[in-house]
Structure 1
Amino acid sequence: MRQLLRLLVITLTLAGCADPVAPADDAGLEADAAMPSDAAMSFDAAVPLDAAMGDAGGSSGAQVFVHLVATHDAVDHLPSTSGQTPRDWVSGIRSLHLMRSETDPTPFLVFSHGDGFVEASYADGADTIVGSRPIAELEPGVYAWARVVHTHVRFTIDATLHAGFGPMPGALEDFIALSDRTTALGRTWSQGDYRTVFTTAGRSFPAEGTGYTWPSVPGGGFTTRVEDGETAFYFPAPLVVDDTLSDDVHLIFTVNVHEGFRWTDQPTTDYADGVFDVTTVSTEPIVQAGANAYTYTVR
């Protein structure tokens, strides 16, 4: 069972296969814009809401608030695949940088929660403020890329285990540490640590491990790098920053995650279409794990 649980660590984050939304002309803080982006647990290092709304240096004057919004609006999916929308799907956001190019040696830090995080939900309609900063403290200019550090991801999916005892429907819950110094579940985790629980017929089978390797997922416009023990997501984010604005500004990153976990059903004995079937050594082929589409707007 421990082998099964280790093999079933499946990462569902914004790095999944997705179709980016083309940027609008002259995107900037002074105008609306559409741009591409790229089981209960206690999370001890989660940043309180008031801190997330003013953690980058003071709270006086106009602020820029960074939101992560999720939607489950139905969209078309890859043909000949099955899917489901994970439950309790969240990720921890630690920091955001803006960059003039993908290799900008001096990116501008919009916000940072230190070793903490704000946990953003991917429930339908969820709107999480993941960070903020006074507009007067922004570095004006034209930016082309963003860099976001994620601390962890957790989610629950339905799965049916085939282990020689007949089909065993159950739920698979995962917690995966994406960055060092992530404090959760009463302890501090390092990048690549994970905890997973498979529950079936009223029984739970927990397991933990280390050394999880981040998968290379094509599509979505993201570049994922592990840098100094942190998992950073790089993505195009054209943005003109004006530090003279007198009213609050909201940067809203909206992601569609409708049935964002997808696989190809296999014609195997006792397997069922529309069911994610797994064994002690393998799963049905996973073809998508993440967002379908996303927009970046300024209000």
Structure 2
Amino acid sequence: MKKPAAAPSLSFRQSGRRPKQDEGLITNKYLHSMYGSPTGVMRPAGRIPLIKECKHYSSYDEMPEKLQKYWHQRNTLWQYDNYDIRMTDDAWFGVTPEPVAVEIATEMAAKRAQREHMPSVLIDLFAGAGGNTIQFALSGEWDRVIAVERDAATLACAQHNAEVYEVAEYVTFVHADCFDFLNRLANWPDTLDDSLNLSLDLDGDGRAMALARGVEFFASPPWGGVGYQQADVFDLEAMEPYSLAHISAACRPMAHALFLPRNGDLRQLAGLVPDGAPEKLDVVQYCVKGAAKGLVAYFPPENYGQGHERAG
């Protein structure tokens, strides 16, 4: 396993004129139409103190009844659970089991290696308590791993858990709404702190191409409760609070992997692939001890395809 590089404090921006905020380098019109122009400057999160919501349960009886079914799964969810892993009660419902998180990181790294322009930055848009973020950092495949989480207590858990796994210095944590972050990254780079600004000083399609080549996303969004379990085929547009189409449109043109319910409608996933796209959409079902935990749809970057793939 390669040792990951420490999260740098310098900007990825090339030298040159800094565009004014009101110029708005609009490369994702969908995000711009939904979120407009942001205010203020978004910066990395400092170390957030653990609070009472950041819990480690040491016995079955300590757990709320709604969580007790997870007690015997705790060492599958986290290999180092006994080393004071912290989660909010809500995070138990969304954390990716560690064996699955390892497989996802491996799959994303393999797909990255097949591209002529290998993304150097991976952004976990719904970082939660850090299950996937930690495995991306442990892989050492990306120059930077950025974890975005809007709930402060959950982000504090992620920072703490990254320390348990000894990768905290290799992750840049951001306390923000991920769609606000995406809008700034795609359209308003000057509203990001230099340490978060991953873009090049390019306008229009050139900027979109630079982002598509240099950045990729992983997203494990909320599914809207357990209602999906009752459906033979789950309508991914019914996910709450964010539909499949909303998440995918916000991530384009960059490659993005979406972790979705195991019974998600594959036709809806296929419908998001542009007609004549040179790359196929890969969908992988992940299981732990024979039980399906979810599927991941691996959307390739747009603007270039097989003609730009690395020969293997």
What is the TM-score with the length of structure 1 in the denominator? 0.28
Task: Answer 1 or 2: higher relative contact order, Cα 8 Å, separation at least 6.
Answer: 1
Higher helix share: 2
Higher strand share: 1
What is the TM-score with the length of structure 2 in the denominator? 0.27
